[in-house]
Amino acid sequence: MSGKLFETTDDGEFVFRFHRPRIFDDETRGHLVDAQKHALKAARSMVDAMLSAMEKGDDDPKSRRQNINID
């Protein structure tokens, strides 16, 4: 098992991994639980942003791209 809380796949998907740490003291376990909460809040924010984009009809990533000229 890796120590990563989340990772991305080659095609850009996020994979979250959670387990109950049993070998750590209460303080460390509390920090790890807080980290899991923050990761879930970040995932919720991403889902909310995707839903907002879909509701606006902006679900095509190509429609959001812009050309930036660098001189």
- Per residue of the chain (71 residues), what is the pLDDT tens digit? 456 667 888 888 877 776 666 788 889 888 888 988 998 899 899 899 988 988 888 555 556 667 777 76
Q: Where are the domains of the chain?
A: 6-56
Q: What is the pTM of this model?
A: 0.51
Rg (CA), the chain: 18
| Contact present, 19 and 1 (Cβ < 8 Å) | yes
Alpha-carbon distances, residue 4 vs 10, 15, 38, 43, 54 (angstroms): 16, 10, 14, 15, 30
* Torsion angle in degrees (nearest 10) through CA of 62, 68, 8, 48: -60
Provide the pLDDT for residue 20.
64
